[in-house]
Each structure stands twice: as C-alpha cells, then as structure tokens.
Amino acid sequence: MAMCERQCQNSKELIAHLKSHIVEGHVVTCPVRGCTNTFRVKSSFTAHMSRKHREFSDSSIGDLYRESACQSSSVPTTSDDFVPLISKPAAQSITDEDNMEMPPEFCDLFLRNVLLFYLKLQGQFLLPASTIQYIVKEMQNIHELGQTYSLGKLASLLKDDTSLSEEDINKVCESVKSYDLFSACHTGPLRTVHSRAQTFKKAFNYVEPKKIFLGRDENRKDRFAYYVPLRETLRCLLESDLWQKSEEPSTEPPADVLCDISDSKLFKSNDFFGQNPSCLKLVLYQDAFEVVNPLGSARTKHKVLAVYASVANLPLHVRSDTDHMSLVLLCREKDFKEFGHANVFSELLADLKELEDSGIVASDETRVKGTLFCIAGDNLGSHCIGGFTENFSSSKYFCRYCLITKSEFQGADPNLCGPERTKENYNSAVDRLQIDNTPDIEGVKFSNKPISVWGGGGGGQGAKFYD
C-alpha cells in the first residue's frame, strides 16, 4: 500500500491495517474510490466507514491503495476509474518544507489571514465555538468537492492533450493536491476548537491572563479576579506596526487651539510628563455589565466589573476605536464590593508602579516609561473607584467635582457649582471618617489612596481623584 510495504489480501485486512497506522499517529486517507476524507483519529475513521461506506468491498478500493493492497481484486483500473489522491497527507504542517516548496512566508500569510477570519467571527461577531467548528467543517467539505472535480478535470485534460502516462498524471494530480493550502490549514492547525486556540496563541501576540486570589466568600468558596498583565500588553503594542505608524511626526496645531488631552493645563503642569515627554499615556476605562441574564443589568446577579486600557499616544482616529482597547481586568462586582479595591487592583497597581519606575524594554533595546493619564467611566463607576458616595438620589453631597449640596442644587440655578474639591478637603474628610461613625463625610465614604491617580477624566464622565 502507499504508506508502507504491507500487502493486504482483502478490504477487511486493509481497514484493520489502516487503523494501526492511525494509532501510530499517521494521517490516513479513506480507501474508498472517490472519497478524499483524511483521518487521524481511529474512532472517527471507524464511524466514517460505518456510516458512509457500509458496503465497502475489494472492488471499491481507490487507486492509492489498489496497486498492492488487494491481490485478489480482479477489477481492472481504467481511466474512467481514475480518482487523483495525495501521496502525502495535506494535514502536515502548512510550512513543512518537504511538502511545500513555495516561500514559507506566503504559507504563513495564508494561514494568518484564515486565522484572522475565524478570530473575527469569534471575537467580534461573538459566534460560539461550536458554530465556528461547523463552518470550518462545511467549508472544508465544499472545498474538497470542488477540488475533486478540478483534479478529475485536470486528469482528463492531461490524458486527452498530452502523451503522459497514467502514472505521471497521477503524480501531477497528487502534487497539485499536496500544495493545497486551504486543506492543509483545515485538516491541520484549524481542524478543531482546541487546535485553533493553540494556533491563535502562536500566530498572534497573546498575553496569558493571571488569576488573582481575593479570598473566600460566605460559602467558603475561593473567589478570583482575572488580570491581563498590562506591561506585557504594552510590550506587544510597542512591537506592533500600529505603534511604528503612530510615531510618525505630525503637524503641530496652533498654540491657541485645544486638539488633544495633552493640550490641557493639568497635563502640562505634571512633572512626570514633563520629564518623560515620549512616555506612554494610559487611559483606563471601567464599567460593570450584566451577562447571561435576560432581565438586564438591574438584576445584578451576574454583573461583572471590567477594566480596559487604551494608549493616548496613538492617533486620534485609532484611539477612539474600541478594537484598539485592551482588556485589563475582570471581576464579579459582588466580589469587588466584598473584597475591596486594594485586593482587586493589586496586580494592576504593581504594574503601573513598575511602568513609572523602570518602564518597558522595547525590541530595539530602548526603555519606554509610562503612567496613568486618567480613568474614564460613568458616574456610578467613577464614584465607586474614587471612594465617593454612589447614592445620587438621597445623598447630601452627590458631586465628585464640587461640594454643592442637593438642596442648593435643586433650589437654585442648576448650573450653580459649589466649592471645588481639593486634595486638602478630600484628605480632611478621610481623616474625619476615621473618627466619626457616619457612612460618609461630604460625599467621601472611604480613602481612594490605594488606587489614586493624578488627573481628571476622559470625556464628560471622567473620574477626578485626589492622592
């Protein structure tokens, strides 16, 4: 037979011998004439033969195995019976140099584009893995049907228009099929959900999330937050084409025109940005969302707190695109409230501190520092992060920017602002909280020092905190 020197006496013996090759780790092509399915799992091969070829006999053996597989077969092989089959399974690595003579970079480019297609289905269009697996299987089946027709037509044309022997025609068709990148991908690295996930990790910059142990809840069950290391994410960004393009010089705007967050007085007065003008300026966005609950977010049973990061150094049109925001942290909101800010944000704070002190070593050996520019979020999330009261309906002090009271706000001009919050009156409220037994002092309910940032937020809903 084609895979070894073994000669089988009948179709039953051939099937048993092919199964032994599968157990050894080889990829086996279906022995039935006209069927080009390949198998690397014994149970899949057995099920295929039982469902599709129950009447399989000696006369049904394809040309790949016919030469020596069944000596008792008396059915001659004619040109009408010709079905081109591959001598090397296409499930080998797509960049296997023994099987692929074309440039490896082209093979990698093809695989990368197919991977991006399936990754977009999974990550952007949120298709389940089972649905994507069905798409992969059906696309491969359709491709094989078209390929079988094309190779059969090629064999017929070669026979009619050339003087090639049947053996040479077989070799031509085998060679054409062995160079099929689509089959090589879909019967190799993309054949299963697991193999696709592993290929995604190898082909793209993948940062493994870390589990942060928060403690045990009231049921003595371990609770965790999941943190995607920020410094590793930024290192991948520095090595990307997107970052190289963002470093291209741009025209300076007029001095009296505010075009970007870096034009603000607060940014220009910050010592760190003054000493490190090319540093990374991070914008964190946090919000809570409800999952697997048709009743919506008000139920809060499965509410998850998410933190995302974007880099203000990127061009404006890229920075505002959600595709360029990176996930930083996920935690159940219930666990966030129970175990506290310091536990949940511990890893993130350590990375931010190291980013300020040591920076990141880029691929060109340059060291790039960075720091947190601002935290963006809605009112509820920003008050939660900043340590302000989250009760907007009955709390006396409801604003995180000023000390206006609710009665003053409702009884006067709605545009009226109270005394501005400062570091001094914020710290004074924190000190009084430690003495007075009250839920909050002037709208401050606990110190935000473990997660303090220097500046005020993004858009109209930014968080303004004080350290």
Note whether 431 and 243 are within 8 A (CB). Answer: no
Please give the pLDDT value at position 51.
78
The pLDDT tens digits of the residues spanning 207-247 come to 999 999 999 999 999 999 999 999 999 999 988 877 766 65
The pLDDT tens digits of the residues spanning 414-428 come to 788 899 999 899 989
The pLDDT tens digits of the residues spanning 303-358 come to 899 999 999 988 888 887 888 899 999 999 999 989 988 899 999 999 999 999 99
The pLDDT tens digits of the residues spanning 435-457 come to 887 888 999 987 655 444 433 33
Please give the pLDDT value at position 413.
76
Half-sphere exposure of 438 (CA within 13 A, CB side): 15
Please give the pLDDT value at position 291.
82
With bands split at pLDDT 50, 70 and 90, how would you rate the model's confidence at 248?
low
pLDDT higher at 250 or 158 = 158
Its pTM stands at 0.69
Segment 116-129 shows an average pLDDT of: 92
With bands split at pLDDT 50, 70 and 90, how would you rate the model's confidence at 249?
low
Judge whether residue 98 has pLDDT over 80: no
- Write out the two tokens for 114: 């197919």
